[in-house]
Amino acid sequence: PSMEPDEVVRTIAQLEAERSSDVLLLKALARRFRANADEFFPPQIDAVMGGFARLGYSDESLLVGFAGRLLDLASDASPRRVVRLLRHGAAL
């Protein structure tokens, strides 16, 4: 069974709070994000990208999922969200 977007966001937040560096779990979460990026709402994508950036984790799955949603996110996002997303992307 796959995780719902809210579960992914909560798991990343928990890993961040614990300052975890469980690479296998982070990799699995990044793959989940890429495979189902269209299920994530913009605030959830913002939270996912920010969490991964603060954890210092990046891989191809995460970046491909982010790139695939970037146009959708930027088209109707507030300037503040666009800046946050670009900062998160740059940190990765």
Task: Report, as ranges of residue numbers, the positions in the chain whose pLDDT lies below 70.
Answer: 1
Burial label, 23 (beta-carbon count in 10 A; 0-12, 13-18, 19+): exposed
**In this predicted structure, what is the pLDDT of residue 10?**
97
Secondary structure in 3-state letters for 3-27? CCHHHHHHHHHHHHHHCCCCHHHHH
pTM of the predicted model as reported, rounded to 2 decimal places: 0.87
Percent of the chain with pLDDT over 90: 63
What single string gives the DSSP state of each residue in 67-92?
Answer: HHHHHHHHHS--HHHHHHHHHHHHH-
| pLDDT tens by residue, 39-53 | 999 899 999 999 999
Q: How far apart are CA 81 and CA 78, in angstroms?
A: 5
**In this predicted structure, what is the pLDDT of residue 41?**
92
**In this predicted structure, what is the pLDDT of residue 91?**
85
